[in-house]
């Protein structure tokens, strides 16, 4: 990663100070922070914002244990950023997990203290609403404590 110039460093500090005070950060500034700002500086500003935003409970920071379960890589969308998908007729590369495998992965998640799964995969041309209803119902029946995070774009 390239080292920022002294002028860029001053500009980054200005953006960090503004963010810490509750100001807005533009997409371009956010990209510069991502590329050049020291991680400890970003963490410090994030902590300042969290403490102000959640005054009275600022001593609490939370996280979840989530598992990403990919149910298929067969997809008709062919997004340019995706190196994951297989075209529907590419039987050598394409795969789909069966429900038993998905439930086994859910069980592993729960055993490790997980509370949520990300059910994610390709846009399979043969899967309609019924496929997702069946799978979500089976997961919730076997693991009612799991949150299913899914169908995001």
User: Tens of pLDDT along 39-90?
Assistant: 999 999 999 998 898 888 878 878 889 999 999 999 999 888 888 899 999 9
pTM, two decimals, is: 0.65
| CA–centroid distance for 96 within its chain | 21
Question: Mean pLDDT across the stretch 94-103?
Answer: 98
Closest alpha carbon to 72 in 90, 91, 89, 86: 86
Residue 120 and residue 78 share a domain: yes
User: What CA–CA distance (Å, rounded) separates 58 from 56?
Assistant: 6
Higher pLDDT, 104 or 58: 104
Q: Percent of the chain having pLDDT more than 90?
A: 76
Residues composing the chain = 153
Burial 123-146 (b: 16+ CB within 10 A, else e): ebeebeeeeeeebeeebeeebeeb
Residue 79 and residue 106 share a domain: yes
Residue bearing tokens 């409970």: 57
User: What CA–CA distance (Å, rounded) separates 30 from 33?
Assistant: 5
Residue 72 and residue 139 share a domain: yes
Residue 96 and residue 39 share a domain: no
Could you tell me the residue range of the domain that residue 126 belongs to?
66-150
For helices 99-111 and 129-142, give the axis angle rounded to 10 degrees. 40
Does any domain span residue 109? yes
Does any domain span residue 14? yes
Task: Name the domain count of the chain.
Answer: 2
Residue 34 and residue 108 share a domain: no
pLDDT at 1 over 80: no
For helices 6-20 and 27-36, give the axis angle rounded to 10 degrees. 120
Does any domain span residue 60? no
What's the whole-number average pLDDT of the chain? 91
Does any domain span residue 59? no
Residue 137 and residue 107 share a domain: yes
- The sheet that has 147-150: what strands, in order across it? 66-70, 116-120, 147-150
């Amino acid at each position: 990663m390239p080292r920022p110039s002294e002028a860029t460093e001053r500009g980054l500090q200005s953006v960090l100070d503004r963010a810490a005070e509750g100001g807005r950060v533009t997409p371009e500034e956010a990209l510069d922070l991502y590329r050049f700002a020291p991680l400890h500086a970003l963490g410090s500003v994030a902590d300042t914002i969290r403490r102000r935003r959640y005054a009275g409970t600022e001593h609490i920071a939370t996280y979840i244990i989530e598992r990403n379960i990919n149910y298929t890589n067969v997809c008709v969308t062919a997004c340019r950023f995706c190196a994951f998908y297989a075209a529907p007729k590419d039987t050598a590369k394409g795969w789909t997990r069966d429900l038993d495998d998905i439930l086994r992965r859910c069980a592993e998640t729960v055993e490790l203290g997980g509370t949520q799964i990300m059910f994610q995969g390709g846009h399979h041309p043969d899967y309609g609403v019924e496929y997702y209803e069946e799978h979500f119902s089976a997961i919730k029946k076997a693991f009612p404590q799991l949150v299913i995070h899914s169908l995001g774009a």
